[in-house]
Chains A and B, each alone.
Chain A
């Protein structure tokens, strides 16, 4: 029982663990445990340490360009006050992003919850607004198709998540604990080449999308965001590997580049879906004020929620993969 006296009470440790951002959890919680004297000392030390760790992780995960793009998207869709509220939340969310991919069970549960929620919402509205006689723009056939679509939404979303998980499982990683410097250099070079090609392709695609935006009369700020992102990607040069780098420096450089590229991708995924989200938001605003037709407003809202779910899912899955890769690199030693 002597050991139990030298370790923090489980409930206190659990609370502290929850407060520490996952990226720093292993080392900070370990350090707090190592210097444990009493529950009071442990709690006081955690209170002094954790806020600074959270701030540091917020700064670490801050990508000014990504945050600017996200802020602009929120501003376009929800307006100024929402932007002021969401930006600190986004920064906090980035600091607490998990270091692993979401588990298959959790992923499937989320998909089922979303589709069941959609069905319940549709059912409630159908019972309050019967389809007969026909309401503005929504007839019985439309209702039936929407209900069936919601019914099939669950397997579709589950398949989507399962596909992402399987794709993630198939990817090749340097998962062994001992790796030679040459193997690490090879993996890093492959990553850099891939990132460069992808940036060039996506930059070009964004430029074409911006041109198309003029013809489809998109919001000027949105076109500006597409142009800005395209220019940024096209001007991004391929960093050169220093031959003088040793294993540890090379690994640190690789980790930094992995994180930077993922932050960029996360933001770009939202940008690609922004025109659709904005169109839905515009329709939502029109129907809610002009026609007062809550049914159409609800359908647009559901569509926007599903779209946001898909983008957020993609981001969480890919971000989890990168964090996992960074974790593998952290534990890797030179052969």
Chain B
């Protein structure tokens, strides 16, 4: 199974959260929101989307052209089964990390900020 990098996890989560409205602009906005306070360039998001598409984790298609985009289409993204599986695995790892840190640093009162 494909293991995900940290930024890939963020981008995949953004696509998952956006559901049918996942395209360049919205994905970038969601990724910025999820990676706060770190700034993320849109180019980095495109590069990651391309890479994940090549790995078969996500797939894309073009929508109808719209006027507010100068008559250009949106490239919509969707998570594939393999992407969903990889994201679940990453979430489980993150959960284990949180539990371990909580036990070591501050008992059950500790929470990631």
8 smallest beta-carbon distances between A and B, as pairs = A52-B43, A30-B72, A27-B75, A252-B59, A30-B69, A31-B24, A56-B47, A49-B43
- In the bound complex, CA of A95 to CA of B90 (Å): 32
Contact (Cβ within 8 A) A27 B78: no
What are the residues of chain A within 8 A of B59 when measuring CB–CB? 248-249, 251-252
Contact (Cβ within 8 A) B61 A251: yes
Q: Mark A27-61, 1 if CB is under 8 A from B, else 0.
A: 11111011100000000010011111101110110
Chain A, residue nearest B41 (CB): A48
Looking at the complex, which one of A28, A53, A253, A331 makes contact with B61 (CB distance below 8 Å)? A331
Q: Is A225 an interface residue (CB 8 A)?
A: no
Contact (Cβ within 8 A) A7 B61: no
Contact (Cβ within 8 A) B70 A56: no
Given A24-B46, A26-B73, A45-B42, decide whether A252 and B53 contact each other with a Cβ distance below 8 A.
yes
Contact (Cβ within 8 A) A28 B46: yes
- In the bound complex, CA of A45 to CA of B25 (Å): 12
What are the residues of chain A within 8 A of B81 when measuring CB–CB? 244, 249
Looking at the complex, which one of B51, B54, B62 makes contact with A27 (CB distance below 8 Å)? B62
Q: Is A256 an interface residue (CB 8 A)?
A: yes
Given A26-B75, A29-B70, A33-B72, decide whether A52 and B60 contact each other with a Cβ distance below 8 A.
no
CB<8 Å pairs between A and B, sample of 7:
A7-B70, A49-B43, A49-B46, A53-B43, A59-B47, A249-B81, A256-B56
Enumerate B62-94 residues with CB–CB distance to A below 8 Å.
Answer: 62, 66, 68-70, 72-75, 78, 80-81
What are the residues of chain B within 8 A of A59 when measuring CB–CB? 47, 50-51
Contact (Cβ within 8 A) A248 B70: no
Chain B min CB distance to A279 (Å): 39
Contact (Cβ within 8 A) A256 B72: no
- In the bound complex, CA of A34 to CA of B41 (Å): 16
What are the residues of chain B within 8 A of A139 when measuring CB–CB? none
Contact (Cβ within 8 A) A48 B24: no
Q: Is A175 an interface residue (CB 8 A)?
A: no
Q: Mark B1-28, 1 if CB is under 8 A from A, else 0.
A: 0000000000000000000000111001
- In the bound complex, CA of A256 to CA of B50 (Å): 12
- In the bound complex, CA of A277 to CA of B108 (Å): 73
Chain B, residue nearest A54 (CB): B43
Further contacts, 13 of them, CB under 8 A, given A30-B69, A34-B69, A59-B51: A26-B72, A26-B73, A28-B46, A30-B70, A49-B42, A53-B46, A56-B50, A248-B59, A249-B81, A251-B61, A252-B53, A252-B60, A331-B61
What are the residues of chain A within 8 A of B70 when measuring CB–CB? 7, 13, 29-30, 33
Q: Is B34 an interface residue (CB 8 A)?
A: no
Chain A min CB distance to B4 (Å): 17
Q: Is A330 an interface residue (CB 8 A)?
A: yes
- In the bound complex, CA of A56 to CA of B43 (Å): 9
Chain B min CB distance to A264 (Å): 16
Chain A min CB distance to B101 (Å): 33
Contact (Cβ within 8 A) B24 A52: no
Chain B, residue nearest A36 (CB): B70
Q: Is B44 an interface residue (CB 8 A)?
A: yes
- In the bound complex, CA of A165 to CA of B46 (Å): 34
What are the residues of chain B within 8 A of A331 when measuring CB–CB? 61-62, 73
Chain B min CB distance to A243 (Å): 13
- In the bound complex, CA of A244 to CA of B53 (Å): 19
What are the residues of chain A within 8 A of B80 when measuring CB–CB? 248-249, 252
Given A248-B61, A251-B59, decide whether A27 and B74 contact each other with a Cβ distance below 8 A.
yes
- In the bound complex, CA of A45 to CA of B42 (Å): 8
Contact (Cβ within 8 A) B72 A29: yes
- In the bound complex, CA of A37 to CA of B42 (Å): 16
Chain B min CB distance to A42 (Å): 11
Chain A min CB distance to B68 (Å): 6
- In the bound complex, CA of A240 to CA of B60 (Å): 21
Looking at the complex, which one of B43, B50, B61 makes contact with A50 (CB distance below 8 Å)? B43
What are the residues of chain A within 8 A of B62 when measuring CB–CB? 26-27, 330-331
Tell which of A24, A59, A248, A251 has the most Cβ of chain B within 10 Å. Answer: A248
